[in-house]
Structure 1
Amino acid sequence: MKTDKIKLLDVVALTVDLPEEQLFKGQVGTVVDILADGTAYEVEFSDRNGRTYESLGLSADQFMILHFELINPKIVSIKK
């Protein structure tokens, strides 16, 4: 995963399928704990009503942080 430092409450998306957990690439979760000195993360997956349906430890290479703002505004140029 190549992105900023992972923080509590970051919204993330799986980049791998985890069929044994019934979770698949693209599913969205929230980082709720930082484990093993920052080498693993507890990610909680919830439904639209906020009910948790899975919570598990993941390594940083299994998900990506979702960004809701421009990551680097200098990269984006508006053409008129």
Structure 2
Amino acid sequence: MNFTIKMLDVVALLENLPEPDLYRGQVGTVVDEYDAEFVEVEFSDLQNRTYALEALGKSQLMILHHSPLA
């Protein structure tokens, strides 16, 4: 299975980032890929209002899966 983070993946933070006020477990969507190591992640609330847009290392994220993995 290939679990490489890519565009439009739903991801969760693996660590606290106090400076942009983001914390482990917060969920976002990958909206841009910079290179093999970094992506732009948009964090939105339940009303779809963006509250953070951050460039993050893929090592700081995990992909969330909403269905069984084959």
Using structure 1 for the length normalisation, give the TM-score: 0.81
What residue ranges of structure 1 are gaps of 5+ in the alignment?
A: 73-80
CA distance in 2, matches of 1:71, 1:38: 24
What residue ranges of structure 2 are gaps of 5+ in the alignment?
A: none
The letter for the 2-side match of 1:26 is G
1:38: how far off? 2.3
Cα deviation code 1:27-51 (max 9, x no counterpart): 000000000x221000000011101
1:34 and 2:33 correspond: yes
Counterpart of 2:53 in 1: which secondary structure? strand
- Considering only aligned residues, what root-mean-square deviation do their CA atoms show, in Å? 1.1
Cα deviation code 1:16-69 (max 9, x no counterpart): 00011110000000000000x221000000011101010010001111000011
Identity %: 52
The structure with the greater share of residues assigned to helix is 1
The structure with the greater share of residues assigned to strand is 2
CA distance in 2, matches of 1:41, 1:71: 24
CA distance in 1, matches of 2:48, 2:26: 14
